[in-house]
Amino acid sequence: MRNVEILKRNRVYYKAKMYDENWERGWEFKLKIDEASEKLGLGQFVLILEDISVVTKYGKDIIYRVKAEVKEPEKICTFKHHLFNKKILEKCRNLGGKWDDEEKAWTFSSVVEDQVEELEELYNEKLTVIDIVAKDDVWANPEVCFLGYPLFYGCGRDSGARLASDIIKISGEIRSSGSMKNWVVECEKGSIFRLTVSKNLIKKAIEINSSYLENWEIKFLEEDKK
């Protein structure tokens, strides 16, 4: 879907402007007037378009046509996060969020904007780099997590264990073990992992005595540890 503003109707084409998801940056193009678009008036729309531009050695004539049903623009809000988090996934789905793989962002109706801002504050504000140290051997199936962030995971007893994206293992061994039916991935006591999280999230986890903290000691790497 594209954010489109129709500026003027000519004989064959609309003079139009296409914007980014926030209706900020935009560029002009021609929109074909046909059965799918002839009833459009001037103003803003969310359209599903097909690129029918003509490219020559002298340049490109940017032309689109309406490919599917026109949808009225909906006020939205978005949420992005630097790491995959299982808790974020659950919360976003509960708020009716839709994942945009191209933008790597969750999109919501503006009706839940307050709740989305709470997510922003909890997960994206006051980011800091921490090391977490295993207080004892830690195991789980199919992955070991910290505050909803997968640290490492496996696919079976003999698969071994792999670090999740953007997680750094400072020391210790990770592996898979157990039986074929009841397998786990595990790390040994004293293993250290490094990741970036929000201080707000850590503070809340401490306040509610989250079970995620039971197996881990947290060490802040920055000077500001407040």
Q: So what's the pLDDT on residue 184? A: 96
Whether 60 and 106 share a structural domain: no
Residue 93: inside a domain = yes
Whether 29 and 18 share a structural domain: yes
Q: What is the dihedral of CA 7, 13, 19, 23, to 10 degrees?
A: 30
**pTM summary value:** 0.64
Q: So what's the pLDDT on residue 72? A: 60
Q: So what's the pLDDT on residue 71? A: 58
Residue 188: inside a domain = yes
* Pairwise CA distance, residues 212 & 10, whole Å: 61
Q: Is the pLDDT of residue 1 over 90?
A: no
Whether 88 and 132 share a structural domain: no
What domain range includes position 82?
76-124
Whether 9 and 60 share a structural domain: yes
Q: So what's the pLDDT on residue 5? A: 94
Total domains, the chain: 3
Whether 144 and 215 share a structural domain: yes
Q: So what's the pLDDT on residue 73? A: 59
Whether 93 and 177 share a structural domain: no
Q: Is the pLDDT of residue 152 over 60?
A: yes
Whether 90 and 135 share a structural domain: no
Q: How far is CA 117 from CA 60, 80, 92, 112, 207, in A?
A: 41, 11, 12, 9, 20
